[in-house]
Amino acid sequence: MATRRSTKKTPAKSNVSKEELLEYYREMLLIRRFEEKAGQLYGMGLIGGFCHLYIGQEAVVVGLEAAAKDGDKRVTSYRDHAHMLACGMDPNGVMAELTGREGGYSRGKGGSMHMFSKEKHFYGGHGIVAAQVPLGAGLAFADKYKGNDNVTFVYFGDGAANQGQVYETYNMAELWDLPVVFVIENNQYAMGTAVKRSTKSPSLWERGAAYGIPGEEVDGMDVMAVKAAGEKAVAHCRAGKGPYILEVMTYRYRGHSMSDPAKYRTREEVQKMREERDAIEHVREILLQGKHATEDDLKGIDKEIKAVVNESAEFAKDSPLPAVDQLYTDIYAAEIPQEA
């Protein structure tokens, strides 16, 4: 069986090339600009309901996607826009789902919290806190059953980490050596509840030890550290050693959803994180200091991304509302689905 505990923190930076670093910069920036635009469209009433932004957490999903190979799966909560962009889903389709239009990934029927892409192995987009955790283990179960070497990334929050079904899943995942990486996105708050107000556990990843699952804490504001930890976790899973837990320490800059007044933390706390730990700024500095890119290069990237995001917003506004007969479709599947 795997080690009971591994050492805390991932010390070594993974070997990241200049090209890779530029790519992460681009992907993180795309997420941030996309989310800012979504916030703006929400304010205009073009997006309704709940809308949970990922701003501040960009390095988590970008770093882990860098450790994934083709065929790997991912599943997450309602805070899902970034996961979709990072696994290569089309920004137009994501934004159009946010506006509830025909061109959206769920043809307007799912909205911000519920999108899926079989092609990109993205299994949602789930609104019930922690429900995705056993689902992710189930995706891994299917891969193991079929005998391939795919790994599933299950993302969930610090708040979700208290749900009972997480621990039922841990137990079975380890018992059956399922190839699943449990990624706890610890952004320090579950809605208005700071982690220390919901548990006395000193850390969340260490709870895996009770089930024999190894894990570690990762600096989620450092995309290279996330990638390195992701590679280690994935190697463990692919080697048939069962699940692995990564508790990725991160921070959300915005409210829980658009309607959260965020009175449970100070403006200074948020400002400090933004100024001192911002993951995008961090990569930007490395790129400039290492002379891997010039200010002009980065401005160019910025411009490209703005164009992509603006296009997605235009697409999302212009795409028609779903046809009314869509109300009664997709309730039952007509045929047994065949694996893509």
Partner 1 sequence: MATEVLMPALSPTMEEGTLAKWLVKEGDTVSSGDIMAEIETDKATMEFEAVDEGIMGKILIAEGTEGVKVNTPIAILVEEGEDADAAASSASAPAESSAPAEAPAPAPETSSAPVPAVASVPAEDPEIPEGTEMKKTTVREALRDAMAEEMRREGAVYLMGEEVAEYQGAYKISQGLLDEFGAKRVIDTPITEHGFAGIAVGSAMGGLKPIVEFMTFNFAMQAMDQIINSAAKTLYMSGGQMGCPIVFRGPNGAAARVAAQHSQDYAAWFMQVPGLKVAMPYSAADAKGLLKSAIRDPNPVIFLENEILYGRSFDVPVMDDFTVPFGKARIWREGTDVTIVSFGIGMTYALQAADKLAEDGISAEVVDLRTLRPMDTDTVIRSVMKTNRCVTVEEGWPQGSVGGYISAVLMQQAFDYLDAPVINCTGKDVPMPYAENLEKLALVTTDEVIAAVKQVTYR
Count the Cβ atoms, other than its own, within 10 Å of residue 308.
18
- Of these partners, partner 1, Mg ion, ligand TPP, none, which one is at the site of residue 184 (CB under 5 to 8 Å by kind)? none
CA distance 331 to 257: 29
By CB under 8 A, tell whether 236 contacts partner 1.
Answer: no
Min CB(149)–partner 1 separation in Å: 32
The residue among 121 and 256 lying less far from ligand TPP, judged by its C-beta, is 256
Helix and strand numbers, DSSP H then E, in the chain: 10, 8
Helix (H) / strand (E) element for 144: namely: helix 132-146
CA distance 120 to 68: 12
List, in order, residues 6 or more apart from 53 with CB less than 8 Å away: 35, 38, 39, 79, 81, 252, 254, 258
Percentages helix, strand, coil for the chain (3-state, rounded to 5) are 45, 10, 45
CA distance 11 to 49: 41
List, in order, residues 6 or more apart from 57 with CB less than 8 Å away: 79, 82, 185, 187, 220, 250, 251, 252
Which 186-225 residues touch partner 1, going by CB under 8 A? 190-193, 197-199
Q: Which amino acid is at 201?
A: S
Which 150-169 residues touch Mg ion, going by CB under 5 A? 157-158
- Of these partners, Mg ion, partner 1, ligand TPP, none, which one is at the site of residue 162 (CB under 5 to 8 Å by kind)? partner 1
CA distance 235 to 67: 9
Applying CB under 5 A, the span of 38-46, 89-97, 105-113, 149-157 interacting with Mg ion comes to 149-157
- Of these partners, ligand TPP, partner 1, Mg ion, none, which one is at the site of residue 79 (CB under 5 to 8 Å by kind)? ligand TPP
The residue among 127 and 292 lying less far from partner 1, judged by its C-beta, is 127
By CB under 8 A, tell whether 110 contacts partner 1.
Answer: yes
Min CB(166)–partner 1 separation in Å: 10
Which 259-318 residues touch partner 1, going by CB under 8 A? 259-264, 267, 274, 313-314, 317-318
Count the Cβ atoms, other than its own, within 10 Å of residue 303.
10
Site residues (vs ligand TPP, CB under 6 A): 79, 127-129, 157-160, 185, 187, 189-191, 256
Buried b / exposed e along 178-206 (16+ C-beta atoms within 10 A):
bbbbbbbbbbbbbeebebeeeeeeebbbb
CA distance 148 to 127: 29
By CB under 5 A, tell whether 190 contacts Mg ion.
Answer: yes
By CB under 5 A, tell whether 187 contacts Mg ion.
Answer: yes
Please count the residues of this chain forming the interface with partner 1, following the rule CB under 8 A: 65
E-assigned strand segments in the chain: 73-76, 122-125, 152-157, 180-186, 189-190, 193-194, 215-219, 244-249
Min CB(296)–partner 1 separation in Å: 19
Min CB(292)–partner 1 separation in Å: 25
Which 173-192 residues touch partner 1, going by CB under 8 A? 190-192
- Of these partners, Mg ion, partner 1, ligand TPP, none, which one is at the site of residue 292 (CB under 5 to 8 Å by kind)? none
Strands 73-76 and 152-157: parallel
The residue among 105 and 189 lying less far from Mg ion, judged by its C-beta, is 189
The residue among 148 and 329 lying less far from partner 1, judged by its C-beta, is 329
* Residues facing 154 on adjacent strands: 75, 182
List contacts with Mg ion (CB under 5 A): 157-158, 187, 190
| Chain contacts with partner 1 (rule: CB under 8 A) | 36-37, 39-40, 42-46, 48-50, 97, 99-101, 106, 108-114, 126-130, 159-160, 162-164, 190-193, 197-199, 253-255, 258-264, 267, 274, 313-314, 317-318, 320-322, 324, 326-328, 331
